[in-house]
């Protein structure tokens, strides 16, 4: 048995080039998904899995993120004066999620692996979670809690895997896996970053949730820049998967629930439509309009 995960790291220092020019002055994690920035969904997920100590790795335009989770007194007073309690609640919720949000600069965006390595001093010698704002997991799912439980049980590195269409696997890291006694958990024996369909070891793709052990920091320290000249987290995970003696190997939790991809423009648009349709305040208005609109398409 190992110590239970208490801390989350949210890397949000990427350049977000796929969303330019929107991300010239705004981190992509601040782009609204319906009416909340992606990063708020991720913090909500972290807190509801019991991880209220949240370290954000931030880059350019850092103030947008920290301002979002701070109090804005004049806005609160204005809404109070107007008696607009609904909007006031929404504002207050974003700043009361947790008191323990910490920020650290990445400096140069040298890759996700490099961003995670920046968390070393804050995390110290404990297992921890990493959540990416590119993937939003529906609030009704308990993926992160399941991953934390598996980490505790297996004392290993845990990644989240999702079955994708073989035609899509070239967009992801694909896992080579072996079965375990649990149909929802596999042992990861290798990883291939963005493979061609015919080279993919499986159609299980890595998605943006990880529960890592502190040993990953030593591996990241010696990981050479890979694809795009960046230090890739996947390269470090590959090393951990290839040698169980480093940190107990890598296991994958197969996620079959609701996930919204916000990493590229098309998926981002789909995510907004899906999430808005599910909302009590917006769904009833959007649904009939969308049906009409789709009916008119040729
Ligand atoms: P992506 O690979 O999606 O890169 O990063 P990106 O730069 O943000 O986006 P594009 O491809 O240019 O549009 C995956 C996650 O890792 C973080 C990003 O913020 C995102 O959450 N990241 C990436 C960092 O924090 N630092 C980096 O140096 C790179």
Segments making up each domain of the chain, as ranges: 7-263
Residues whose beta carbon lies within 6 Å of some atom of ligand 1: 11-18, 28, 57, 106, 109-112, 114-115, 132-134, 263
CA–CA gap between residue 58 and residue 263 (Å, rounded)? 17
Average per-residue pLDDT for the chain: 93
- 55-59, 62-66, 205-209, 215-219: the lowest-pLDDT one: 62-66
Interval 176-183 mean pLDDT: 96
Task: Measure 252 CA to ligand 1 centroid, in angstroms.
Answer: 22
**Could you give phi then psi for residue 181, rounded to 5 degrees?**
-75, -5
Contact 162, 259 (CB under 8 A): yes
Residue 1 has pLDDT above 70, yes or no: no
- 62-76, 131-145, 155-169, 234-248: the lowest-pLDDT one: 62-76
Tens digits of per-residue pLDDT, 82-114? 998 888 888 888 888 878 999 999 989 999 999
CA–CA gap between residue 156 and residue 19 (Å, rounded)? 35
Give the CA distances from residue 116 to residues 104, 213, 221, 242, 243, in Å, rounded to whole numbers and listed in that order. 11, 12, 11, 20, 21
Interval 14-34 mean pLDDT: 93
The residue whose CB lies within 8 Å of the most ligand 1 atoms, and thus the one to mutate among 8, 10, 12, 14, is 14
The residue whose CB lies within 8 Å of the most ligand 1 atoms, and thus the one to mutate among 37, 55, 112, is 112
Atom of ligand 1 nearest to the CA of 19: 13
Task: Measure 263 CA to ligand 1 centroid, in angstroms.
Answer: 9
Atom of ligand 1 nearest to the CA of 15: 7
Neighbour-count burial for 97-122, b at 16+ CB within 10 Å, e otherwise: bbeebeebebeebbbbbbbbbbbeee
Contact 276, 287 (CB under 8 A): no
Atom of ligand 1 nearest to the CA of 18: 13
**pTM for this one?**
0.94
Q: Which percentage of the chain shows pLDDT scores above 70? A: 100
Interval 184-191 mean pLDDT: 96
Residue 73 has pLDDT above 90, yes or no: no
- DSSP percent split of the chain into helix, strand, coil, nearest 5: 45, 25, 35
CA–CA gap between residue 16 and residue 264 (Å, rounded)? 9
For tokens 């995670």, name the residue. Answer: 116
CA–CA gap between residue 127 and residue 148 (Å, rounded)? 9
Interval 260-282 mean pLDDT: 94
Task: Measure 120 CA to ligand 1 centroid, in angstroms.
Answer: 19
- 57-71, 122-136, 141-155, 251-265: the lowest-pLDDT one: 57-71
Residue 61 has pLDDT above 80, yes or no: no
CATH topology of domain 7-263: Spore Coat Polysaccharide Biosynthesis Protein SpsA; Chain A (3.90.550)
**Which pLDDT score, from 0 to 100, does residue 159 have?**
98
SS3 244: helix
Atom of ligand 1 nearest to the CA of 134: 21
Interval 12-30 mean pLDDT: 93
Query: What are 36's strand-pairing partners?
Result: 33
Atom of ligand 1 nearest to the CA of 23: 13
Burial of 188 (0-12, 13-18, 19+ CB in 10 A): buried
**Which pLDDT score, from 0 to 100, does residue 63 have?**
86
Q: Which percentage of the chain shows pLDDT scores above 90? A: 80
- Sorted by sequence, the CB contacts under 8 Å of residue 130 that are 6+ apart come out as 8, 9, 10, 11, 116, 208, 209, 210, 211, 212, 233
Q: State the DSSP H helix or E strand holding residue 119, giving kind and residue range, or none if neither.
A: none
Task: Measure 227 CA to ligand 1 centroid, in angstroms.
Answer: 13
Interval 57-61 mean pLDDT: 87
Tokens of residue 164, six digits:
């994708």
pLDDT level of residue 291 (50, 70, 90 thresholds):
very high
Residue 175 has pLDDT above 90, yes or no: yes
Contact 55, 294 (CB under 8 A): no
**Which pLDDT score, from 0 to 100, does residue 3 have?**
82
Tens digits of per-residue pLDDT, 201-258? 999 999 999 999 999 999 999 999 987 889 999 999 999 999 999 999 999 999 999 9
**Which pLDDT score, from 0 to 100, does residue 199 have?**
92
């Amino acid at each position: 048995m190992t110590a239970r995960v208490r801390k989350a790291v949210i890397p949000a220092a990427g350049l977000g080039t796929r969303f330019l020019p929107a991300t010239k002055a705004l981190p992509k994690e601040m782009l609204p998904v319906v009416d909340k920035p992606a990063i708020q969904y991720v913090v909500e997920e972290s807190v509801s899995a019991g991880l209220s100590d949240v370290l954000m790795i931030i880059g350019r335009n850092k103030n947008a993120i920290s301002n979002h989770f701070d109090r804005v007194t004049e806005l609160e007073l204005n809404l109070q004066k107007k008696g607009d309690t609904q909007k006031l609640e929404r504002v207050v919720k974003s700043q009361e999620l947790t008191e323990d949000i910490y920020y650290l600069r990445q400096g140069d965006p040298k890759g996700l692996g490099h961003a995670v390595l920046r968390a070393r001093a804050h995390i110290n010698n404990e297992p921890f979670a990493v959540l990416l704002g590119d993937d939003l997991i529906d609030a009704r799912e308990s993926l992160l809690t399941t991953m934390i439980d598996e980490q505790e049980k297996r004392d290993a590195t845990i990644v989240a895997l999702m079955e994708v269409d073989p035609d899509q696997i070239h967009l992801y890291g694909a896992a080579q896996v072996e079965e375990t006694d649990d149909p929802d958990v596999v042992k990861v024996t290798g990883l291939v970053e963005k493979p061609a369909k015919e080279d993919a070891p499986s159609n299980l793709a890595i998605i943006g949730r990880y529960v890592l052990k502190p040993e990953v920091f030593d591996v990241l320290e010696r990981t050479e820049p890979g694809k795009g000249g960046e230090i890739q987290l996947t390269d470090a995970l590959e090393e951990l998967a290839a040698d169980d003696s480093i940190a107990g190997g890598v296991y994958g939790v197969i996620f079959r629930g609701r996930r919204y991809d916000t990493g590229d423009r098309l998926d981002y648009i789909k995510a907004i439509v899906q999430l808005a349709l599910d909302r009590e305040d917006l769904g009833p208005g959007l649904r009939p309009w969308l049906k009409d609109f789709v009916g008119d398409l040729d």
